[in-house]
A and B are shown apart, each in its own frame.
Chain A
Amino acid sequence: MRWLLIIALSAAAVALVLAYRPPLQPGAPAKKIQLSNLPVGYCPSRVWLIVTDHAGKVFFDNERTVGNCREVDLTDITLPSEGLVYLKAPLALALKRTFTSESLPLITALALGDVTADNVINGADEVLVRGAVSGSEPVPGTDIDQDGQMTVIDLAYIKVNQRAGEPRPDGKPWSEAVH
């Protein structure tokens, strides 16, 4: 009976660990934010990043370069053991994610479509993109998927992502430097 219980518990424990363990990425730095759910042509060079602990103490509040169009490296930032990450990328709504030192790398999706850079995707963005896909002179930023063409897919991003992004923790507007 005892050996049976030991085997069962061991097997279940191993299965549980394997199931919840984040996928291994050989060679990649663990302290990074991986941007996902993005069209292949979308390649931001910079994002605005804020890192705080849960008490609101700010550890980082500045621009970061984006590597390989998808990776925000955090290795040179002193991070709290757990806290919050705020990230605003060009054309995207700002997002907020909690993290712990064990949960890195943080893989997160971006909601694209913020043409007006006001951290809200709404009718104002839709008017600009509608105009551009209808043949008007495109306003910069209306090519949401950055494929060099104004198509229904650009308009689809506006339709699908209509909402407000996360505000900055200090309540100030997001810097327009990311645009």
Chain B
Amino acid sequence: MRRSAPSRAMIILVTLVTLILLVGSALLQRIVFRAEQVDASLYFSPNVVTAKPAQVSSVTIGANLSSPAHIAGVEVVFVFDETSLELVAAVPSPLWQTVALSSDQGRVRWLMTPLEGEGALIETGAANFGSLEFRGTKEGSFTVAFDQAKSIIAAFDPSHETPIYNAAVSFQDVVLLISQQQAIEVGPTEQPLTSESLSPIATAQKILSSDVLTFADTAAVLVKLRYPDQVKVVFGSSESQNEVVSSKAKTYHLIQLSGLSSETQYRYRVISGGIVSQSHLSTPEKSFSTTGLSQDPVSPRRSFIKIFPATSDKEADIIIALRDDQGRTISGKRPVLTTPSAKIRLTPIIELNGFYRSVAQLSQGEQEVTTVAAEIDSVKIGSQAVAFNSQLKTPQWPPSGDSGFLTLDNRLIMILAGLLLALFAVGLLMARLVRDR
């Protein structure tokens, strides 16, 4: 009997270890290999270039990625003053090819895909898509600015756990200083400032995105945070500086900047802080230009609708921009919003000098995926999908059981507790066996 007991115990031990390995492997598949979306910062490098008139300056377009990612394509849309700058060439990097390149009144759309395969694996976290060559035609300071609503880095998960998504969440423009007095100084490639480098605080909070929609005397800054907090937008032209503070701590903020002058360039920064951390987090300084005001016919091509956020628990802001062919804001119209869903309520549109705003609310049920379309005089100017899910949970600070990339739910905790208990029992059993021998 004493000889058979250890062998029986050994069988039980092996069985237990096998069970633990099986469960561990299942957990690893569910946790560690869960798809994570990558955030990218699209930038021009260097971000300031000085050159003499008529001389060509080169600017590269690149991206910093929060982690290695597969990129299936890039669509870069940028604007510049074509009366002051001339785009001489757009050259893709060696591993990339141009699919489409079009230019219309200082607005350039450049679409690129990897030369081979389904997508390029950017392992280093930094990608170089191509370079642009500009020639200044007159002296002054001129910004080449990304159209943040239209620029896309198409990233995908090779295991196809997520749909293809736009990884571009932040942007850095370039300023070309054209002067007869200064020598050409195409400086060393500067990495764009990140929120961490500007505010060296050890915090889990992040400004995930900050986009701006511009109108004639208004701009809407759309900010997405990782955790709910208040947001302040500091903005100004060369003459003055102002700030607007959000009233509530939320993850999504629509900050309206009013009282701006038309066709004027403003610089702005988004600052969050106060709740998640005592320190403040700031984006790099960026710029936007307000549009002109127009009473010309609406151009469906240049007008658009924006719903923010596109996924929400119960309500989302809707912004409609009516533009003419020149991209100028049109006020005094009566756009109409429609949705095929009976579960969605759309509030009446309120207008402030061409800034048309409404709210979509989930009025029935728990969840709904639908589209909201905008039209003017029976002409459709755009539509956007919106998803509501009343069960959607906003990440809270401090995160419960969130170690940065894992989210432990109760079920997972029970599994881990069971595993630990099993491991503990195996340990005791082994100790007992050793002692018996």
A-to-B contact residues, CB < 8 Å = 1, 4-5, 7-9, 11-16, 18-20, 37-41, 43, 68-70, 109, 111, 130, 133-135, 145-148, 151-153, 155-157, 159-160, 162
Contact of A40 among B26, B102, B385 (CB under 8 A): B385
Distance in angstroms from B321 CB to nearest chain A CB is 14
B415-437 Cβ-contact flags toward A at 8 Å (1 or 0)? 10011011001101100100000
Q: Which of A11, A13, A15, A148 has the most CB of B within 10 A?
A: A15
Distance in angstroms from A51 CB to nearest chain B CB is 24
Q: Residues of B contacting A14 with CB < 8 Å?
A: 414, 418
Q: Residues of B contacting A162 with CB < 8 Å?
A: 118
Using known A-B contacts A133-B111, A135-B102, A157-B164, determine if residue A20 contacts B26 with beta carbons closer than 8 Å: yes
Distance in angstroms from A67 CB to nearest chain B CB is 11
Would you call A16 and B160 a contact (CB within 8 A)?
Answer: no
Distance in angstroms from B332 CB to nearest chain A CB is 25
Q: Does B156 contact A (CB under 8 A)?
A: yes
Q: Which of B73, B162, B411, B426 has the most CB of A within 10 A?
A: B73
Distance in angstroms from B422 CB to nearest chain A CB is 4
Q: Residues of B contacting A16 with CB < 8 Å?
A: 19, 22-23
Top 4 A-B residue pairs of the complex, sorted by shortest distance between their CB atoms: A8-B425, A15-B418, A156-B72, A41-B385
Closest B residue by C-beta to A6: B425
Q: Residues of B contacting A5 with CB < 8 Å?
A: 12, 425, 429
Can you report 30 A-B residue pairs in the complex whose CB atoms are below 8 A from each other? A1-B429, A4-B429, A7-B421, A8-B16, A8-B426, A9-B12, A11-B425, A12-B23, A14-B418, A15-B418, A19-B23, A19-B27, A20-B26, A68-B368, A69-B369, A109-B160, A109-B161, A130-B99, A133-B111, A134-B102, A134-B111, A135-B100, A151-B75, A152-B72, A152-B73, A153-B166, A155-B72, A155-B154, A156-B119, A162-B118
Distance in angstroms from B209 CB to nearest chain A CB is 16
Closest A residue by C-beta to B371: A41
Q: Does B61 contact A (CB under 8 A)?
A: no
Contact of A43 among B72, B111, B112, B369 (CB under 8 A): B369
- Residues of B in contact, count (CB < 8 Å): 58
Closest A residue by C-beta to B421: A11
Using known A-B contacts A37-B160, A41-B385, A159-B113, determine if residue A4 contacts B425 with beta carbons closer than 8 Å: yes
B145-158 Cβ-contact flags toward A at 8 Å (1 or 0)? 00000101010100
Q: Does B256 contact A (CB under 8 A)?
A: no
B2-27 Cβ-contact flags toward A at 8 Å (1 or 0)? 00000000001000100110110011
- Interchain CA distance A167-B369 in the complex, whole Å: 30
Contact of B164 among A7, A19, A39 (CB under 8 A): A39
- Interchain CA distance A1-B425 in the complex, whole Å: 10
New A-B contacts (9) at CB < 8 Å, excluding given A11-B422, A16-B19: A9-B16, A11-B418, A15-B419, A15-B422, A19-B415, A39-B163, A133-B100, A147-B385, A152-B72
Q: Residues of A contacting B294 with CB < 8 Å?
A: none
- Interchain CA distance A140-B428 in the complex, whole Å: 67
B378-420 contacts to A, CB under 8 A, are 382-387, 411, 414-415, 418-419
Would you call A40 and B99 a contact (CB within 8 A)?
Answer: no
B-to-A contact residues, CB < 8 Å = 12, 16, 19-20, 22-23, 26-27, 30, 72-75, 99-100, 102, 111-114, 118-119, 150, 152, 154, 156, 160-166, 310-311, 367-371, 382-387, 411, 414-415, 418-419, 421-422, 425-426, 428-429, 432
Contact of B163 among A1, A4, A145, A155 (CB under 8 A): A145
Would you call B152 and A153 a contact (CB within 8 A)?
Answer: yes
Would you call B429 and A153 a contact (CB within 8 A)?
Answer: no
Q: Residues of A contacting B166 with CB < 8 Å?
A: 153
Closest A residue by C-beta to B426: A8
Q: Residues of A contacting B100 with CB < 8 Å?
A: 130, 133-135
Would you call B26 and A19 a contact (CB within 8 A)?
Answer: yes
Would you call A155 and B22 a contact (CB within 8 A)?
Answer: no
Q: Residues of B contacting A153 with CB < 8 Å?
A: 73, 152, 154, 164-166
Would you call A160 and B418 a contact (CB within 8 A)?
Answer: no
Q: Residues of A contacting B154 with CB < 8 Å?
A: 151-153, 155-156
Using known A-B contacts A39-B164, A152-B75, determine if residue A68 contacts B367 with beta carbons closer than 8 Å: yes
- Interchain CA distance A159-B164 in the complex, whole Å: 11
Distance in angstroms from B417 CB to nearest chain A CB is 8
Distance in angstroms from A139 CB to nearest chain B CB is 16
Contact of A15 among B118, B370, B387, B415 (CB under 8 A): B415
- Interchain CA distance A93-B382 in the complex, whole Å: 28
Q: Residues of B contacting A109 with CB < 8 Å?
A: 160-161
Q: Residues of B contacting A135 with CB < 8 Å?
A: 100, 102
Q: Residues of B contacting A145 with CB < 8 Å?
A: 163-164
Would you call B113 and A152 a contact (CB within 8 A)?
Answer: yes
Q: Residues of A contacting B163 with CB < 8 Å?
A: 37-40, 145
Closest B residue by C-beta to A3: B425
Q: Residues of B contacting A40 with CB < 8 Å?
A: 163, 310-311, 369, 385-387
Closest B residue by C-beta to A14: B418
